[in-house]
Structure 1
């Protein structure tokens, strides 16, 4: 039985009773986060209704002690517990949330199959490097929880969603503590886009217009890889469009990736007439090095061909793993 099948959902129904409008969330405390994690073991956080229905919301698969890599899937879940509030675009965002990146744009659409892609990528990286990366997954559908927004818009006041949001980010923080023991590290936020023509987008918190400026070095402190540039291991231009930029390494694996050496401008109308580009959101800002710390972050937006086909997805994961490993070997050894 696959991991995906085993962990999906546990429902405990009391005879003769249906779902209630709101649920009671288990509290996720700091004490929970201080447990001793065992590499390769799965740790889960469940949401719970007032009548005892449960669903696995968040999962952390602990990485090996020597790993410097964290993979997250905030939008890949498909569970829709009826006892949880369904998010709406009419929700008014709290002003207290405006700390990290995008807190106002609303979407309830899932990044389909990105959870599966994240798990496949983690396994391929383990095979290539001998080290398990840390993995944090949101199993709830985006209509119930958007784990890549600040808490107000992400959960919209639902107690279960708030608790799950806290668990998701606490698991990432716990993984970062483990990674920090090895020095620097990297968080890869795995997403999906439906842009046309299809391409994979590498988000460094620099906007599409920033790539028109001609001087990326002046923008390094605004990026999610600020720590790497400040360490002297790379210039901003090298990380965005150089020979060993992650986009360039993905190009070499057969992907149309931007920004990269081959496609340096993600909003170049000649290459991408729709001029759409996702440059990174809440998680990339919060868990990267733009504001503090020695752990950087990159948002990877994979096109549909890469993630949607169950037969071909693992082959794509192998190519992504080779690119990610080459990037890690270059900048995080």
Structure 2
């Protein structure tokens, strides 16, 4: 895979964008640069190679991202010290995401798009709105914009070349129950409710577009026979919500963050998003576990795309 840098291109786009925006409009600070035409099967780097976009095949409908496994602490970047700033690393999630990508390529011949942040979360937070990231330097803000430019670019590639797709935002948790928490921007309280209640929430979820093209009611997309969590369970990976484990009840559960909300289909677009909060034991804590789990998650993705998107990705 070729390696190229579009730092100069992105910086130019950012300059153009900054000239257009009003200095009194804070929301514009979050906007990624204008559209870039990324070449398939190349790796594009941001400033100092801190973030990267591993551009997949043109016809791949899958986007993967790992925002919180970075370890680089750039010189002169103070730690984010706001009381609301979470700085815990999602250990080995990038390695797990790479195994998923490799397994998808091995099984389908299509390499998914993958975005990675290699800077420590204590210095840069990609999974919050910019004003809630509490960065201590403008350089961190710039890196945030580059990361989101890559996500936006991947989303646009999928919509342009495939027409619909799936974004999986990969994370790690340390909760008591060792299972994957599948997040659709649906609250724990609503997941603990009835199927009838769930069926009224499709428009507020990160898989809204998927709910409009799938043959299944929304509650079945969450915990039915072909829900993503159910497909993981069928591969031997515990997951909630799923048919086997339909409700988080009183246990800890993450329902999705800023990237899932922003790059899913809640408000627009044909790329739906799911946050996968993975546990460590028997899943990602060592290379053998990651390789096996990556293959199982890839198989679940392939079956999910076939069941709901009508896309047969297998060779």
> Post-superposition shift, 1:155?
4.9
Q: Give the SS at the match of 1:314.
A: helix
For the Cα contact (< 8 Å) 1:204–1:224, is it kept in 2? yes
For the Cα contact (< 8 Å) 2:79–2:123, is it kept in 1? yes
d(CA) in 1 for partners of 2:115, 2:218: 27
d(CA) in 2 for partners of 1:28, 1:141: 26
For the Cα contact (< 8 Å) 1:192–1:303, is it kept in 2? yes
For the Cα contact (< 8 Å) 2:192–2:248, is it kept in 1? no
Q: How does 1:204-283 map to 2 (within 5 A)?
A: 204-214=184-194, 215=196, 216-267=198-249, 269=250, 275-283=251-259
Find out whether 1:111 has 2:90 as its counterpart.
yes
For the Cα contact (< 8 Å) 1:186–1:296, is it kept in 2? yes
> Post-superposition shift, 1:232?
4.6
For the Cα contact (< 8 Å) 1:155–1:165, is it kept in 2? no
Which whole-Å deviations, capped at 9, do the CAs of 1:103-160 have from their partners, x for residues lacking one? Answer: xx53100101111111111111111111011000011110011110011232525111
> Post-superposition shift, 1:35?
4.2
d(CA) in 2 for partners of 1:183, 1:320: 23
Query: Which residue number corresponds to residue 304 of structure 2?
Result: 327
Query: Which residue number corresponds to residue 149 of structure 1?
Result: 128
Query: Which residue number corresponds to residue 44 of structure 1?
Result: 45
Normalised TM-score (structure 1): 0.81
Find out whether 1:29 has 2:22 as its counterpart.
no
Query: Which residue number corresponds to residue 18 of structure 1?
Result: none
For the Cα contact (< 8 Å) 2:125–2:135, is it kept in 1? no
Query: Which residue number corresponds to residue 23 of structure 1?
Result: none
Find out whether 1:136 has 2:112 as its counterpart.
no
d(CA) in 2 for partners of 1:137, 1:28: 22
For the Cα contact (< 8 Å) 1:33–1:171, is it kept in 2? no
d(CA) in 1 for partners of 2:158, 2:246: 30
> Post-superposition shift, 1:38?
2.3
Q: Give the SS at the match of 2:299.
A: helix
Q: 1:200 and 1:244, CA in 2 relative to 1: closer, same or farther beyond 3 A?
A: same
For the Cα contact (< 8 Å) 2:79–2:136, is it kept in 1? no
> Post-superposition shift, 1:72?
0.7
Q: 1:155 and 1:64, CA in 2 relative to 1: closer, same or farther beyond 3 A?
A: farther
Find out whether 1:195 has 2:170 as its counterpart.
no
Q: 1:131 and 1:200, CA in 2 relative to 1: closer, same or farther beyond 3 A?
A: same
Find out whether 1:57 has 2:33 as its counterpart.
no
Q: Give the SS at the match of 1:300.
A: strand
For the Cα contact (< 8 Å) 1:28–1:163, is it kept in 2? no
Query: Which residue number corresponds to residue 285 of structure 1?
Result: 261
d(CA) in 1 for partners of 2:116, 2:188: 28
For the Cα contact (< 8 Å) 1:155–1:161, is it kept in 2? no
Query: Which residue number corresponds to residue 185 of structure 1?
Result: 165
Q: Give the SS at the match of 1:188.
A: strand
Query: Which residue number corresponds to residue 126 of structure 1?
Result: 105
How many correspondences in the alignment? 284
d(CA) in 1 for partners of 2:97, 2:178: 19
